[in-house]
A and B are shown apart, each in its own frame.
Chain A
Amino acid sequence: MENLIQDLKIQIIDQLNLQDLTPQDIGDDQPLFVEGLGLDSIDALELIVLLQQHYDIKVANPEDGPKIFHSVKTMAEYITAHKKAA
């Protein structure tokens, strides 16, 4: 889980072009949207593609975004729960 969270932070910074941030700046439980990192619904769509690209997980309904992408930790939990058996 620790490694996954660290990977996710790097991937999020890269995908969303958060140039001024380092992985250390993002707390595991910090909300990613609005009051937290200030991400918005366009970022949610970017993160859906991130899950597909890096973890082969398809989120069919964008309405699920807020729940899955609440924080890096919730993302990691979602990935762990939905990862296809290797």
Chain B
Amino acid sequence: MHTFIHGTGVIAPYLPGKDNPLPAPDSQPRLRCIEPDYKQLIDTRLLRRMSRVVRMGTAAALTSMKDACVEMPEAIITATAYGCTEDTETFLTKMIVQNEQMLTPTAFIQSTHNTIAGQIALMLKCHAYNNTFTHRAFSFEHALLDAMLLLQEGEISNVILGAVDEMQDTRFKILERFGLYKRAVQQGPWGDPAQRDSPGTIAGEGATFFVLSTSPPAASNICIKDVRTFFKPGDMQPNILAFLAEHHLKPSDIGLLLWGKNGDARYDGVYDETARGLFDTNPVFSFKRLCGEYPVATAYATWLAAFILQGREMPAGLLPAGLQAPGHVLIYNHFYNIHHSLILLSAC
């Protein structure tokens, strides 16, 4: 059974469009989302309590529903590795500074990982299935898996699936101390991470939502075929071959490989070793060039894969030369060589 994409809503550092510049870091090694005017999308009475990540998630979810012409979802599933860091920090700071006295509930209530999924349900008065996955760089993959299983179970016909993580200042400062990010930032667009040979990456963020269904939409035949995660797998080549074989595919059938190279010289070699001998001649694109590194970046990659499979226009020279209508797109991501994942999309 295939899972079709009926609608999408994306808030990201980059969306393809004639006037949209390629994303560039500012003074820090991070790519920031281009955010919409939330007041156009969300009731101001609700907005007043929402932190940035909740706004991003809720707005992207509503946009995906509008795109799919769905008014009431039959399930809501979200993924977030970091959760609602801003509210967590607000509450934690006050708790420490005020020695646990005179604290107010709003930041605490909004700090739970299921805030976004709950908020969407509350806005829509949606009593349906509601779940949130929060397992690092598996979060989106497992939320997608849950959505696909629900649709296969046949009791519902659509699911809202979304992944949200924001890079907020404090988290950035802490992760920077772990040495995750590049020390020197060049001016201008980031360029292809595959060309970098220094340690560290560039932080990213985003909210990516999908409306999924088992029936194809009128205007598109793009489907998500499968998703798989691997925890500290060692050699990924046998896993990739087995995964493709389950769908009667060989590496040469993959019209485009979207891999998760993030420009960190310490970890990008893993992609080269895995691809060697499997994908030597396939067109390859590093999707983190457009969204930066964050745990649920594969949600953006999934959206990008669908966008490309639909034959929609990308800026000239961005995608690999000679890329034809790809037919099958494979997303291969690893997060610090611990969490590896594969997502397969096809024109069905």
Contacts and interface: CB of A to CB of B under 8 A. Distances in A.
Contact of B105 (A17, A18, A45): A45
A20 B44 contact: yes
Contacts of B45: 38
B125 interface: no
Interface in A12-42: 15-20, 38, 42
Contacts of B44: 19-20
A19 B106 contact: no
Nearest to B44: A20
B103 interface: yes
A17 B46 CA distance: 11
A5 to B, nearest CB: 22
Contacts of B312: none
Contact of B48 (A16, A52, A53): A16
B16 to A, nearest CB: 33
A18 B47 CA distance: 9
B219 to A, nearest CB: 38
Interface in B66-105: 102-105
Given A19-B44, A20-B44, A38-B45, A52 B102 contact: yes
Interface string B196-217: 0000000000000000000000
B49 interface: yes
B109 interface: yes
Interface in B28-71: 44-45, 47-49
A64 interface: no
A46 B48 contact: no
A10 interface: no
B103 A49 contact: yes
Nearest to B39: A20
A84 to B, nearest CB: 16
A49 B104 contact: yes
B103 A17 contact: no
Contact of A49 (B49, B102, B109): B102
B48 A42 contact: no
Contacts of B49: 17, 42
A36 to B, nearest CB: 12
Contact of A42 (B47, B102, B103, B105): B105
A20 B38 CA distance: 14
Nearest to B110: A42
Contacts of A53: 102
Contacts of B47: 19
Nearest to B47: A19
B48 A45 contact: no
Interface in B95-132: 102-106, 109
14 contacts: A15-B104, A16-B48, A19-B47, A19-B48, A20-B44, A38-B45, A42-B49, A45-B104, A45-B105, A46-B105, A46-B106, A49-B102, A49-B104, A53-B102
Given A20-B44, A38-B45, 18 more contacts: A15-B104, A16-B48, A17-B49, A18-B48, A19-B44, A19-B48, A42-B49, A42-B105, A42-B106, A42-B109, A45-B104, A46-B104, A46-B105, A46-B106, A49-B102, A49-B103, A49-B104, A52-B102
3 closest A-B pairs by CB: A17-B48, A49-B104, A45-B105
